[in-house]
Amino acid sequence: MKKISGRKWIGWTGAVAIGLIISLGFVTAGNEERNFSIVKNLDIFYSLFRELNTYYVEETNPEELVETGIGAMLESLDPYTTYIPESEMDDFNFMTTGEYAGIGALITGREDYVYISEPYKGFPADKGGLKAGDKILAIDGVDMKGKKTEDVSNKLKGPANTDVTVTVKRYGQEDPLDISIVRKAIQIDPVSYFGMVDEETGIIILDNFTQDCSRKVEKALKNLKEEQGVEKIILDLRGNPGGLLDEAVKLANLFLPRGSEVVSTRGKIEQWDKVYRTSKAPVDTVIPLVVMINRGSASASEIVAGAIQDHDRGVIVGNRSFGKGLVQTTRSLPYNAKLKVTTAKYYIPSGRCIQALDYSQRNEDGSVGYVPDSLITEFNTKNGRTVYDGGGISPDVVVPYEKYSNMTFALVAQQTIFDYVNRFAAENNTVPVPEEFSVTDEIYGNFTDYVTALDSFRYTSESRERFKKLKEAAEKEGYYDANADAFENLEKKLDVSVSEDLDNFRDEVDDLLADEVLKRYYYRQGAIQYALQDDNVLEKAMEVIGSNSEYQGILNGTVLSHAGDRRQR
């Protein structure tokens, strides 16, 4: 995009502002007070910007100033109303379509360099020989030291069928490697896994609601039905942040009869209000169905889970969902930019909106709180079961949320597991298949030795964090001096021991260690196959779907459900 010099940019901005003011005068002539407020504040903004550009002691960057102003303005509304400049349109398109042109790999920043964290199976990075753990030194001869992850990503992307040379440093090899890769159109399959979990039950894992994801789920469902003889289906929407509303409607259509309401939208512009119904013949309206959700299930995921629950078509298992009941519409702006703006709220078939946070009522510090219980309304499913609005989708069967220890968070945040597996993969050519793999005592012992030898690994326990607050309160209230010895003794006992905590929290660390190891040898699908073998939510889902009396009892309301529990925040 051609850059506009500071002075010319100011003149252009003024013309745009004046044009906008004139157009607003015609559009809102019926609301003089509001019209005057808009005109006045646009005039103030233009004048302020002109004065800054003229008199500020240092040279200003017009684009950065305006983007900062836009960002602050939109931040006061909700986190989903965002400005997308031309430079970020590739990322936006990938979020909605799952497609881009590049090498097909995840990357992660570490100190001064960016690393390959996961090559996608069968894509150019994988075929070209890039491996997880490779440190990117240069791209097409351009030094990447100190570059941001975004900058490296942009260098790796490019038109399909063009060459890119990536220079990497690989653990265990002294000399850098120059790897030539031909970029291709990359489309990530939103169905990361489907298969049988026992002789009767199949599972479909959907990661996001990108374009055509419903068709991918339909293909997986038909494969399970026609080729593998599935008799029960589990749809896994855990961690699925949502995406395209139309795709949510199409996915629900796989299980709901033609003409069933899935969701409706209501907003400021009544002409845009719409009721979305299933329009095609379903694949199966009777097969027992469980939908798994958690706190990471949002937006389109909640539409599907909510429609299934409100129509009593299946049982919802897991944890309360995120609670995003807001609809965004993308509007075009000049210079190939976009505005993604919240235009409506969506309502699932029972009539409830599952929006959990009230962005219209902020606290004095600017924070946003949950919709208060006093404003929560009771609704009913098709079979008369009680459900509530204002807080996401509450599962029919709740599985306690598993919280990781501070040490485990530190291992992930500091990428200690990632670094260890770089070394492990360099020293081990193969590992057992996912169904037979386990983190043996030998592997875990080596990992423990590796971590305890690191001077850089630091963390604090939750107990010590609470002790610190207790000590501060005691000092403030005058109790500390009289009990100093007791406080000091307790503080010593609460000192973290890396080796002890690695032993105490081995179950947590084992799962994360196995996930990273298996991705190196069997890609993402192998890691999923391993994880499904010890998954407490899946275990509960199979227990429910395996008992016809419990399954039907939940749907009929004769077996106690947690769907109406408003306390699950």
Q: Which active-site residues does the annotation give? A: 299, 310, 324
User: Is 382 in contact with 311 (CB distance < 8 Å)?
Assistant: yes
- DSSP letter at 560 equals -
Residue 288, CA atoms < 13 Å, CB-side half-sphere: 21
Strands 397-398, 315-318: pairing kind: parallel
- DSSP letter at 243 equals B
Closest Cα to residue 305, out of 253, 252, 261, 350?
Answer: 252
Structure tokens at 281: 């013949």
- What is the C-alpha to C-alpha distance for residues 155 and 166, in angstroms, rounded to an integer? 10
Closest Cα to residue 129, out of 181, 173, 204?
Answer: 181
Chain center to CA of 179 = 31
Long-range interactions of 447-452: CB distance < 8 A, separation 24+: 447/420, 447/502, 447/509, 447/513, 448/499, 448/502, 448/503, 450/420, 450/423, 451/411, 451/416, 451/420, 451/498, 451/502, 452/498, 452/499, 452/502
User: Is 315 in contact with 287 (CB distance < 8 Å)?
Assistant: no
Q: Name 504's Cβ contacts closer than 8 Å, sequence gap at least 6.
A: 405
Q: How far is CA 287 from CA 10, 224, 313, in A?
A: 63, 12, 9
User: Which sign, positive or negative, has the C-alpha torsion 262, 265, 270, 271?
Assistant: negative
Rg (CA), the chain: 27
User: Is 226 in contact with 216 (CB distance < 8 Å)?
Assistant: no
Ordered DSSP codes for 51-81: HHHHH-SS---HHHHHHHHHHHHHHTT-TT-
User: Is 533 in contact with 435 (CB distance < 8 Å)?
Assistant: yes
Closest Cα to residue 6, out of 49, 46, 69, 62?
Answer: 62
Q: How far is CA 383 from CA 121, 552, 556, 566, in A?
A: 45, 11, 6, 19
Return the amino acid letter for 198. D
Structure tokens at 248: 């949510």
Q: Name 329's Cβ contacts closer than 8 Å, sequence gap at least 6.
A: 272, 340, 341, 343, 344
